[in-house]
Chain A
């Protein structure tokens, strides 16, 4: 029985080795690998074909022969001494993740980009299409104008040009510059292919029609990620977004939406996840402050299927692009947390090739767990993929 005051420790055992055939191909694991072991004179008595793992008795010459054979056949293999596991008394307390106590914008990077480890990942989102469905984008913004943004308006009588600022801010966080001359870089995935769908008018309002039209367009454009920093403060699940979320996943696309800003935690109101983020097939994002605490306004999980906050991102005092001469602005909201996660999703999609449900799982798996209620932050702070050499 494992108890908190005990920890696992291991020692190696001489003469016994674990042989790992690193292949995703079941044919290799079930046939080629055990064949190779037999040919080289190893027992296959302890061979696990589903894992591609054998435990063998051997000396180093014998193992070297196996390694050479595998190398010659281009069969990736790892050989490790078998370990004996036992529990020991006294355990140093393990932190859930190596996270600093607080972040602050530097000359190089916003706090949000530092927190999600965008730069360290080495990935840029290249080749991954991301749609930002919002108030459009300022296509004349000097830091976005050269990005080859595909823009489309679903608001009658308005072009895709952003007359509000919100859409430009969100799109900037997803795919703006990661470095620039006059201040910190703010774009999580600076080489993602950006699609700006204007589904909210310059007055900040839109209907299901424009939003669903934007989703439909993003699917036709084969966007792997659809970022939606919008919602209605209604606790009911809205059926069209259940179908839209599921059909998007079936077509290789993941919808990521803001949990909502209807909490006033300092007044004891925890709020609830609104539509469309409360739909079962839409990922809901909560907002963290620079100390990685939950933001005062960030909505809590709505009881019921799909109503949970799935993951959290930087959403307080977020610097990004803004329309007009102002160029940049620092604002807060789950609207700002959402594009951080969407940018991370693009980096993870680039790193792994995963789409849809697999991408959802990867986002959740890579998130750094926080010592906060899961009803507020889900699986925690969304993180970019580790750099290639650390994988």
Chain B
């Protein structure tokens, strides 16, 4: 059995504009801190990946990280709805 804090979930990591030019370095540090990187968004300076709640503090302490936010889901109404 694993507790909820040990299960990897999706995170959006926003990187400081000062460091977005060298995003690959930040990505490497995030990986070292435990992030399983899914996508690197170079124009936005953001990284999506998966990690456990317990790894969160390590991700937040990476130099150049502005914020680490839990990924949200978005949903629109089904096709047959009158209001969409």
Contact = CB atoms under 8 A, between A and B. Distances in A.
**Which bucket holds chain B's interface residue count?**
20 to 34
B84 A336 contact: yes
A243 B67 CA distance: 10
Interface string A242-258: 01100100010000000
Interface residues of A, number: 39
A232 B83 CA distance: 15
A238 interface: yes
B34 interface: no
Nearest to B81: A331
A261 B43 contact: no
Contact of A243 (B38, B45, B79): B45
A220 B15 CA distance: 18
A239 B69 contact: yes
Interface string B68-79: 010111111111
Contact of A331 (B17, B45, B82): B82
A335 B78 CA distance: 13
A232 B71 CA distance: 12
B43 A239 contact: no
B66 A243 contact: yes
A216 B46 contact: yes
B60 to A, nearest CB: 12
Nearest to B79: A165
A112 to B, nearest CB: 15
Interface string A212-247: 110110011000000001111010001110011001
Contact of A209 (B10, B43, B66): B10
A332 B77 CA distance: 11
Interface string A161-176: 0001110010000000
Most buried by B among A208, A216, A230, A247: A208
Interface string B21-60: 0000000000000000011011111101000000000000
Interface of B: 10, 12, 14, 17, 38-39, 41-46, 48, 66-67, 69, 71-79, 81-84
Per CB-CB distance, the 4 closest pairs between chain A and chain B, nearest first, are A216-B41, A219-B43, A333-B84, A204-B76
Given A166-B76, A247-B17, A331-B81, 9 more contacts: A164-B79, A206-B75, A209-B39, A219-B43, A229-B76, A239-B67, A239-B69, A240-B46, A247-B43
